[in-house]
Amino acid sequence: MRFDSTGFLALLRREVLRFLRRPRNTFLPPFITNVLYFSVFGVILGERINEIAGVPYILFILPGLVVLGAISNAFENTSFNIFHGRWNRYIEEVLTSPLSYQTMVGAYVLAAAIRGAIVGILIALIGAFFTAVGVVQPLYLVAFGVVITTLFASLGVIAGLWADDFDDLTMLNQFILRPLVFFGGVFYSLNELPETVQQVSLLNPMIYMVNGVRYGFLGVSEVDPNASLAVLSALTVAVLGLDIALFQRGYGLTD
Amino acid sequence: MESAIEIRDLRKSYGDVQALDGVDLTVPEGSFFGLLGPNGAGKTTFINVLVGLVRGTDGDARVFGHDVQEEYREVRDRIGLAPQEFNVDRFFPIREVLEHKAGYHGIPKARASERTEEVLKRVGIYDKRDTRFDWLSGGMKRRFMLARALITEPDLLILDEPTAGVDVQLRHELWETIIDLNQRGTTILLTTHYIEEAERLCDEVAILDSGRVLDVASPEELMDRGTDDVVVQLREEPTAVPDFAALDERVDAVELDGTRLVVTARQGGLVAPDVVRRLDDAGHEIVDLEIQRTSLEEVFVEMTRAGEGRATPEVSSQ
């Protein structure tokens, strides 16, 4: 049976409408949070901090905040929606349909990536309100944007299938995702760290994402953007493959 | 005729619990088939294997010739399921829930909207189309479950306790809808606790108990296996009556209480003329005659009694 575009679009539409129709839950929180970030870290503290990598501090942190917002929302969308669907069993509407497992995963992931991208753009626009924001490498920015939102949307699928409780999702977000992002070079330059800590930091995948997006916006990066993009793309494909395999096996979905 | 459902030695275990223990079953295409069994008999597990919500441990399960796991897309495209539990997306108005469901089955949006209107009108909740599921009454929720199962125009409609908890009027309305669908060629697989429902609607029923199929037959055939009471009211109290039990092997017992004679027999309808003739021959005047047929419920309870302790029989009639 060939790819079912009608089914794919139906599920995609449902998942997109789900976040578009509750902006108070999906777009208002990152809006407020990032206004606060830019006000406090960018304006109030930023004026007391020297340029980093040749750019003002407020501009230096902008790409990291875009990454933080984009990946958090992409991750939350798939993880919450899949888990909530399992919890209330309405995911069975999808599971009992003739959609292929690839189509199911594809629609969930794309919807979440779209939400992540919208939040990322929203944060960039908030940044533009505080300072002049340019895009030096637009293709890299788009490429990194697509890859990191897709990657975290795909990771969210695993979380949504794995979680037994809402607390599990909160734990993943608060105790794993956010620390990785905060130690991922959002607010500081790797060069300011001691050599050993720098080396350890390179194990954090967020470093490559933040620097990749920073390269798109500012044209500066502390790691090779091409290598980062290649590794992140490969990781995204691998996680997507794992998502599909888990759906096929019925992990968290069937008895 | 092609089989709508073909099951061979289907097994499903949860640890030490054997939910399905070698089920063999054939449901002919176009039939109205009932699945009866006490709680825990394996009815819902059986249905969930067909739609992919449960994976069988062993055995072969096919729907319209397609393997439920290997050819899951073909199978699921032809099934409409109204489960017992409400598993509905409560975020969207019910109209959109139906449009989404139709979309998953490859029905284009314009056609999906038309179908949504049709099925909501058919089950009588069209005026609630912009309401979320949570705000529907209990009866409307049941109607919606049927509407969702019908939205894709399935060849096989699976109804798991479709009238549980609804009032008599709605139950009859739902029956009419289902009967109409069956007459138009849709195969129906029905599980129910309401034995009368199976008795009225089904061409054939399978009695399932502790994960095994005990019997498959028409409700009539099953009822013939029970005993009926031929109740005869005589004008005067007799001093003796013919020994019906000795004269007819179908007769199980004869009880005389004043002028009221009760002959308990299998196939009471066939035994009754003999009883009347013999009483007449013996000079007894009959003033009233009634045949109290055994119910499918009584047969069901009798058949599943052996399973007591393994499962909890819970049947009810209206």
Whole-angstrom CA distances from A146 to A153, A212, A233, A250, B87 are: 11, 12, 9, 27, 33
Joined together, the tokens standing for residue B245 give 């039990």
Distance of CA B81 to the CA centre of its chain: 15
> Cα separation of B307 and B38, whole Å?
9
Any idea which of A26-35, A81-90, B23-32, B285-294 has the lowest mean pLDDT?
Answer: B285-294
Structurally, how many domains does chain B consist of? 2
Residues B146 and B271 in one domain: no
Q: Is pLDDT above 60 for B272? A: yes
Residues B174 and B203 in one domain: yes
- Which residues lie across from B275 on neighbouring strands? none
pLDDT tens-digit series, residues A5-46:
999 999 999 999 999 999 999 999 999 999 999 998 878 887
Residues B28 and B176 in one domain: yes
More confident residue, A15 or A223: A15
Output DSSP code: residue B307.
G
**Residue B315: band (very low, low, confident or very high) from pLDDT cuts 50, 70, 90:** very low
More confident residue, B245 or A71: A71
Residues B60 and B143 in one domain: yes
Joined together, the tokens standing for residue A128 give 């533009």
| Inter-residue long-range contacts of B202-206, CB under 8 Å, 24+ positions, other chains counted | B202/B32, B202/B33, B202/B34, B203/B31, B203/B32, B203/B33, B204/B27, B204/B28, B204/B31, B204/B32, B204/B33, B204/B34, B205/B33, B205/B34, B205/B35, B205/B36, B205/B296, B206/B25, B206/B33, B206/B34, B206/B35, B206/B36
Please list, in sequence order, all residues whose beta carbon lies within 8 angstroms of the beta carbon of residue A111, skipping any fewer than 6 positions away: A11, A12, A15, A16, A18, A19, A77, A78, A153
Chain B closest CA to A250's CA: distance in Å?
8
Domain span holding position B25? 3-222
Query: Is residue A230 included in any domain, yes or no?
Result: yes
More confident residue, B193 or A85: A85
Residues B213 and B254 in one domain: no
- pLDDT score at B310: 47
Residues B112 and B195 in one domain: yes
- pLDDT score at A185: 84
Q: How many CB atoms are located within 10 Å of the residue A136 CB?
A: 13
**Residue B244: band (very low, low, confident or very high) from pLDDT cuts 50, 70, 90:** confident
- pLDDT score at B11: 96
Read off the CATH number of the domain in which B25 is found: 3.40.50.300
* Mean pLDDT of the region A70-79: 95
Minimum CA–CA partner of A6 in chain B: B106
Residues B184 and B276 in one domain: no
Ranked by mean pLDDT, which of B219-233, B250-264, B291-305 comes out on top? B250-264
> Considering only CB atoms, which chain A residues are within 8 Å of B97?
93
Query: Is residue B302 included in any domain, yes or no?
Result: no
Give yes or no for a contact between B202 and B185, defined as CB atoms under 8 angstroms apart.
no
Domain span holding position A28? 5-249
Q: Is pLDDT above 60 for B311? A: no
Q: Is pLDDT above 50 for B318? A: no
Query: Is residue B165 included in any domain, yes or no?
Result: yes
Structurally, how many domains does chain A consist of? 1
Query: Is residue B309 included in any domain, yes or no?
Result: no
- pLDDT score at A175: 85
pLDDT tens-digit series, residues A94-112:
999 999 999 999 999 999 9
**Residue A133: band (very low, low, confident or very high) from pLDDT cuts 50, 70, 90:** confident
More confident residue, B165 or A150: A150
**What does the mean pLDDT of chain B come to?**
89
Residues B125 and B195 in one domain: yes
Q: Is pLDDT above 50 for B317? A: no
- pLDDT score at B30: 96
More confident residue, B200 or A109: A109
Q: Is pLDDT above 70 for A211? A: yes
Query: Is residue B299 included in any domain, yes or no?
Result: no
Give yes or no for a contact between B61 and B7, defined as CB atoms under 8 angstroms apart.
yes
**What does the mean pLDDT of chain A come to?**
92
Residues B136 and B251 in one domain: no
- pLDDT score at A106: 97
Joined together, the tokens standing for residue B40 give 């825990």
Query: Is residue B244 included in any domain, yes or no?
Result: yes
More confident residue, A108 or A53: A108
CB contact under 8 A, B100 and A254: no
Nearest to A254 among B52, B108, B109 (CB): B52
The helix-helix angle for B109-122 and B94-104 (nearest 10°) equals 130
> Cα separation of A74 and A181, whole Å?
14
Ranked by mean pLDDT, which of A128-137, B102-111, B205-214 comes out on top? B102-111
Task: Work out the angle at residue B145's Cα, subtended by the Cα atoms of residues B141 and B146, and round it to the nearest 5 degrees.
Answer: 120
Q: Is pLDDT above 50 for A124? A: yes
Query: Is residue B314 included in any domain, yes or no?
Result: no
Chain B closest CA to A11's CA: distance in Å?
7
- pLDDT score at B316: 40
Residues B39 and B173 in one domain: yes
Query: Is residue A255 included in any domain, yes or no?
Result: no
- pLDDT score at A52: 80
Q: Is pLDDT above 60 for B117? A: yes
Query: Is residue A254 included in any domain, yes or no?
Result: no
Q: Please tell me the pTM assigned to this model.
A: 0.87
Residues B16 and B51 in one domain: yes
Chain B closest CA to A140's CA: distance in Å?
35
Q: Which residues of A touch B (CB under 8 A)?
A: 1, 4, 6-7, 9-11, 13-14, 17-18, 21, 85, 88-90, 92-100, 250, 254-255
Residues B65 and B12 in one domain: yes
- pLDDT score at B312: 42
Report ipTM for this prediction.
0.89
* Mean pLDDT of the region B62-80: 96
Query: Is residue A128 included in any domain, yes or no?
Result: yes
Read off the CATH number of the domain in which B278 is found: 3.30.70
More confident residue, A199 or A10: A10
CB contact under 8 A, A90 and B89: yes
Q: Which residues of B touch A (CB under 8 A)?
A: 14, 45, 48, 51-55, 72-74, 76-77, 79, 81, 83, 85, 87-92, 96-97, 99-109, 112, 148
